[in-house]
Amino acid sequence: MGKQKKFVEAITAMDVDFAQWYTDIVKKAELVDYSSVKGCMIIRPYGYAIWENIQKYLDEKFKETGHENVYMPMFIPESLLQKEKDHVEGFAPEVAWVTHGGNEELAERLCVRPTSETLFCDHYAKIIQSYNDLPKKYNQWCSVVRWEKTTRPFLRTTEFLWQEGHTAHATAEESQQETIDMLNVYANFCENALAIPVVKGQKTEKEKFAGAKATYTIESLMHDGKALQSGTSHNFGDNFSKAFNIQYNDKNSQLQYVHQTSWGMTTRLIGAIIMVHGDDSGLKLPPRIAPTQVMIVPIAQHKEGVIEKAQELKTRISKVARVGIDISDKMPGWKFNEYEMKGIPVRLEVGPKDIENNQVVLVRRDTREKLVVSMDELEIAIPKLLEDIQNSMYEHALKHREENTYSAATLDEFKEIADTKSGFIKAMWCGDKACEEKLKEVAGVTSRCIPFEQEEISDKCICCGGEAKQMVYWGKAY
Amino acid sequence: MGKQKKFVEAITAMDVDFAQWYTDIVKKAELVDYSSVKGCMIIRPYGYAIWENIQKYLDEKFKETGHENVYMPMFIPESLLQKEKDHVEGFAPEVAWVTHGGNEELAERLCVRPTSETLFCDHYAKIIQSYNDLPKKYNQWCSVVRWEKTTRPFLRTTEFLWQEGHTAHATAEESQQETIDMLNVYANFCENALAIPVVKGQKTEKEKFAGAKATYTIESLMHDGKALQSGTSHNFGDNFSKAFNIQYNDKNSQLQYVHQTSWGMTTRLIGAIIMVHGDDSGLKLPPRIAPTQVMIVPIAQHKEGVIEKAQELKTRISKVARVGIDISDKMPGWKFNEYEMKGIPVRLEVGPKDIENNQVVLVRRDTREKLVVSMDELEIAIPKLLEDIQNSMYEHALKHREENTYSAATLDEFKEIADTKSGFIKAMWCGDKACEEKLKEVAGVTSRCIPFEQEEISDKCICCGGEAKQMVYWGKAY
């Protein structure tokens, strides 16, 4: 009667080897497979379904806020990439070059887009003439390529999927507003859909995007205490519009340069979901982003009426949640493990006794709590339970971040925390790049962001003792 | 008060210069812009919104029929591309090669995917072990690159967007069934959503896909009488599984090769929409695929209550159709031209007199017919009108195809038609490649397909006079 698939093998425990635990999950939960191209991943159906839900949520928000989708070429001529000086310096060392088309060598080599500022600018220079043409608020969903030396699925890959928003505005105020608005869209998405709390703030000069006037970021904390930059939004001011000559006639027929932004989120968010919520049994998906929210596992399914009842429940539940059913001939224990590994928020068990008692058993993936619920109440109980799980996953992640966020008032304290703990360290900074570099050298941390919510821990820079300008989040990062 | 945009300039008439008419529409309707990379296009918001509707419709059908989306790398190592002999011969001459990553030359050059059979096969060889793992029915949405010498927006570009389905099955029967099922999905999509009638059939040996056992196609007829291959579905049999060693254990624990298919549809469909439905005023979009189905243009909008009423109508109509409103200070005449150019199926005019009479004027884009409709009936009248337009556009296109489909029983007749008419020519064929090549030489046509619906025009091959095996559609093609 066919081969029975073997039980899901146990994965490496998180505390034993976090990196291996991560790799085990992406493989065992069938999110990703390695490809024959170094550093490029294959996103498998389950991983891609999560990405589709991320896309759907964000795309709706982008459209609600007046953005339109477009598609730019994947190639950038070398001369175009070189137009903005800081930008090319930042990206040229890590791009892939196309040198031949068919059997012929190209007159000018083309880079595979690492990001598309230069293409959008080239287009904007053509289509923007008057203040009537502004603002332009475009976005594109695509893949980009950065030639990375060391790679990890979702977190850092040679090719990755993302969206990149590119906008052009009449004034500096508008582009600043857009930059912050989109950062807020990202922050709300992480907190509401992914149940991942974030710190919103500005990147230092050292850490900002190549070519930007200011870069804003949302930073989240992984289970191992390392930070993950989860989305960035850049204000370019007129840096690019001067390089690409993007000008418009204002209401007084004066030529003005436009002010621009760009902002992006990538498949690395799936890495964040894994590392914020996962445990030693596998993935844990927040209900709002889970491809399947409820998995029905019939118990003693060979008994009369069990499969029929389970299917009837599926039909009912499909009206209020994304529901699946597994009536394969695998053992229930195998199924439990499999769907825990895949992080499905709720398992619904139904067997002959449950049917007799007009009830089902609901098992939460996040807390493993079991609830016995009357069959009559499923349409109300399940959405409520999913909502509870979503909120409780957020609270759990927030608690973890709070417990792993430290304050340091002196350099010794700072080094002590960096050496013995892992998490965010809040400390004051004078604004000098030399201090930022020194902290990296002596404590192995980088500045994560200058948070919007400032605290005054002391009035002195943690590093040089000079006058403190800002409180900064520091940490080790992916 | 600011610069008034000038009237939409007239486009070249279709009968004067069809190619220029086409180019004018893609530019003036703001579907596409040219980029700084030769042969690559920028798909602008309006063009991309049409593509999003195409994606949405097809993606739903793919999922309904049990397919899952994945994402494969955009690069293929040269050695992997070379595994299936016919396939590499077909594609190698037209691929773009990446030779450098960052500042280093790659040990093995990578081609930018022209299609992803080789990547899917490489993955399937790893993940398929047993008959329990079959079928695998994957699809991906992405862009591909083919180094074309002459290009035209949508119809033939160096990079284009598409979906590519790749499936693996236990038996030859199943892969044949899948190939035909997906061809039918494509045919239904073209006819129902795009209002484009298609001829379903098989490609000849000469015209089939590189590496396939059989290629099936849907062929449509453009306004100028040229054919457009609008979607293809390939049965690979075990050609690829033998080259890539994709085997599974059957129920008797015997190793078997899988049987595979692939099928794809591209952004060239947008070219088909333009060339099947458009006229000298611009684009005409079938309602089911139109980003905006109804555009409200207030008349004498400076008069009290007009804009308010128009906005009230928009809110009501938004519940039954995709509706827009233009309350800019441009002249109504400018707006009429603009939305005709953009092919919006219905224009709704509402002015002071209409308000007085509790009515609006609906203008069909396809026939220019005007209908006066009571405001109370909009929620019923508009969906009905959109439905009428959809059907009537299909009927119109079908009539055009029928009027431009000819039968030839002798070679002289065939040449006469090819010389003086433009459209499909139905004629008998012996199955010999030499005859196919000769018809191209003497009449400038290629075989479009061997249609599923056969007719017996004569019992002799149109070319050599030998025994006829099949009736074939011939034509000039894009």
Distance from C-alpha of B77 to C-alpha of B119, rounded to nearest angstrom: 9
Cβ-based contacts of B142 with chain A (< 8 Å)? 143
Cβ-based contacts of B119 with chain A (< 8 Å)? 35-36, 42
Is residue B376 very low, low, confident or very high in pLDDT (cuts 50, 70, 90)?
Answer: very high
Beta pairing partners, B467: B460
Per-residue pLDDT of A461-473, as tens digits, reads 999 999 999 999 9
Check CB contact of A103 with chain B, cutoff 8 Å: yes
Is residue B5 very low, low, confident or very high in pLDDT (cuts 50, 70, 90)?
Answer: very low
Per-residue pLDDT of A103-144, as tens digits, reads 899 999 999 999 999 999 999 999 999 999 999 999 999 999
Chain A residues 187-206 with CB within 8 Å of chain B: none
- Residue B70 has its nearest CB partner, among A42, A73, A130, at A42
Residue B117 is predicted with a pLDDT of 96
Asked if A126's CB is within 8 angstroms of B249's CB, the reply is no
Whole-number Cα distances in Å, B450 to B164, B191, B200, B217, B372? 23, 19, 8, 9, 47
Check CB contact of B36 with chain A, cutoff 8 Å: yes
3-class SS letters over chain B: CCCCCCCCCCCCCCCCCHHHHHHHHHHHCCCEEECCCCCCEEECHHHHHHHHHHHHHHHHHHHHCCCEECECCCEEEHHHHCCCHHHHHHHHHHCEEEEEECCEEEEEEEEECCCCHHHHHHHHHHHCCEHHHCCEEEEEEEEEECCCCCCECCCECCEEEEEEEEEEECCHHHHHHHHHHHHHHHHHHHHHHCCCCCEEEECCCCCCCCCCCEEEEEEEECCCCCEEEEEEEEEEECHHHHHHCCEEECCCCCEEECEEEEEEEECHHHHHHHHHHCECCECCCCCCCCCCCEEEEECCCCCCCHHHHHHHHHHHHCCCCCEEECCCCCCHHHHHHHHHHCCCCEEEEECHHHHHCCEEEEEECCCCCEEEEEHHHHHHHHHHHHHHHHHHHHHHHHHHHHHCEEECCCHHHHHHHHHHCCCEEEEEECCCHHHHHHHHHHHCCEEEEEECCCCCCCCECCCCCCECCEEEEEECEC
Residue B10 is predicted with a pLDDT of 83
Beta pairing partners, A363: A347, A370
Residue A92 is predicted with a pLDDT of 86
Quote the tokens at residue A120: 């959008």
DSSP H or E run through A51: helix A45-64
- Residue B251 has its nearest CB partner, among A2, A36, A37, at A2
Per-residue pLDDT of A28-72, as tens digits, reads 999 999 998 989 999 999 999 999 999 999 999 999 999 999 999
> Nearest Cα to B161, choosing from B47, B323, B254, B276?
B47
Quote the tokens at residue A117: 């500022």
Task: Give the domains, in start order, of chain B with CATH numbers.
Answer: 18-277 (3.30.930.10), 294-385 (3.40.50.800), 405-475 (3.30.110.30)
Q: What is the DSSP string of A343-400?
A: T-SEEEEE-HHHHHTTEEEEEETTT--EEEEEGGGHHHHHHHHHHHHHHHHHHHHHHH
Check CB contact of A119 with chain B, cutoff 8 Å: yes
Asked if B41's CB is within 8 angstroms of A74's CB, the reply is no
Q: What is the DSSP string of A451-468?
A: ESS---S-SB-TTT-SB-
> Nearest Cα to A209, choosing from A176, A238, A242, A233?
A233
Q: How far is B327 from chain A (nearest CA, A)?
A: 14
Check CB contact of B125 with chain A, cutoff 8 Å: no
Asked if B80's CB is within 8 angstroms of A33's CB, the reply is no
- State percent of chain A over pLDDT 90: 94
> Among A423-432, B6-15, B366-375, which is the least confidently predicted range?
B6-15
> Nearest Cα to A96, choosing from A117, A83, A118, A81?
A81
Is residue B247 very low, low, confident or very high in pLDDT (cuts 50, 70, 90)?
Answer: very high
Asked if A72's CB is within 8 angstroms of B42's CB, the reply is yes
Asked if B41's CB is within 8 angstroms of A112's CB, the reply is no
Check CB contact of B254 with chain A, cutoff 8 Å: no
Asked if A70's CB is within 8 angstroms of B44's CB, the reply is yes
> Nearest Cα to A239, choosing from A146, A111, A136, A118?
A118
**Nearest residue on chain B to A36, alpha-carbon basis:** B77
The answer to whether A41 and A23 are in contact (CB under 8 A) is no
Per-residue pLDDT of A190-204, as tens digits, reads 999 999 999 999 999
Check CB contact of A125 with chain B, cutoff 8 Å: no
Check CB contact of B464 with chain A, cutoff 8 Å: no
Asked if B44's CB is within 8 angstroms of A75's CB, the reply is no
**Nearest residue on chain B to A127, alpha-carbon basis:** B33
Considering Cα of A374, then A375, then A379, then A383, what sign does the dihedral take? Answer: positive
> Nearest Cα to A234, choosing from A179, A187, A169?
A179
Sheet holding B359-364, edge to edge: B323-325, B294-298, B346-350, B359-364, B370-374
Is residue B176 very low, low, confident or very high in pLDDT (cuts 50, 70, 90)?
Answer: very high
Is residue A326 scored above 80 in pLDDT?
Answer: yes
- Work out how many CB contacts closer than 8 A connect A with B: 162
Q: Work out the average pLDDT over B73-87.
A: 92
Is residue B4 scored above 90 in pLDDT?
Answer: no
Is residue B87 very low, low, confident or very high in pLDDT (cuts 50, 70, 90)?
Answer: confident
Check CB contact of B16 with chain A, cutoff 8 Å: no
Asked if B102's CB is within 8 angstroms of A147's CB, the reply is yes
Cβ-based contacts of A31 with chain B (< 8 Å)? none
DSSP H or E run through A75: strand A75-77
Is residue B1 scored above 60 in pLDDT?
Answer: no
ipTM: 0.95
**Nearest residue on chain B to A42, alpha-carbon basis:** B72
Q: How far is A76 from chain B (nearest CA, A)?
A: 7
Is residue A87 scored above 90 in pLDDT?
Answer: no
Is residue A2 very low, low, confident or very high in pLDDT (cuts 50, 70, 90)?
Answer: very low
Distance from C-alpha of B432 to C-alpha of B438, rounded to nearest angstrom: 10
Chain B residues 132-151 with CB within 8 Å of chain A: 132, 138, 142-143, 145, 147
The answer to whether A37 and A154 are in contact (CB under 8 A) is no
Is residue B464 scored above 80 in pLDDT?
Answer: yes
Specify burial of residue B124 (Cβ count, 10 A radius: 0-12, 13-18, 19+): buried
- The angle that helices A268-277 and A378-403 make with each other, rounded to 10 degrees, is 90
Cβ-based contacts of B90 with chain A (< 8 Å)? none
| Alpha helix (H) residue ranges in A196-267 | 239-244
Q: Please, which residues have CB within 8 angstroms of residue A196's CB and are 6 or more apart in sequence?
A: A190, A220, A230, A272, A273, A276, A394, A397
SS3 assignment, position A228: strand
- Residue B98 has its nearest CB partner, among A96, A103, A249, at A96
- Residue A52 has its nearest CB partner, among B35, B45, B69, at B69
- Residue B98 has its nearest CB partner, among A42, A77, A97, at A97
**Residue type at position B12:** T
Check CB contact of A452 with chain B, cutoff 8 Å: no
Beta pairing partners, A470: A429
Asked if B73's CB is within 8 angstroms of A41's CB, the reply is yes
Distance linking the first and last C-alpha atoms of chain B: 47
The answer to whether A153 and A272 are in contact (CB under 8 A) is no
Residue A9 is predicted with a pLDDT of 63
Chain A residues 47-66 with CB within 8 Å of chain B: 48-49, 51-52
The mean predicted confidence, pLDDT, of chain A is 96
Is residue B149 very low, low, confident or very high in pLDDT (cuts 50, 70, 90)?
Answer: confident
Q: How far is B45 from chain A (nearest CA, A)?
A: 5
Check CB contact of A102 with chain B, cutoff 8 Å: yes
Q: How far is B131 from chain A (nearest CA, A)?
A: 8
Beta pairing partners, A227: A221, A477
Check CB contact of A90 with chain B, cutoff 8 Å: no
Distance from C-alpha of B146 to C-alpha of B149, rounded to nearest angstrom: 9
How many C-beta neighbours within 10 Å does residue A5 have? 15
Is residue B9 very low, low, confident or very high in pLDDT (cuts 50, 70, 90)?
Answer: low
Cβ-based contacts of A63 with chain B (< 8 Å)? none
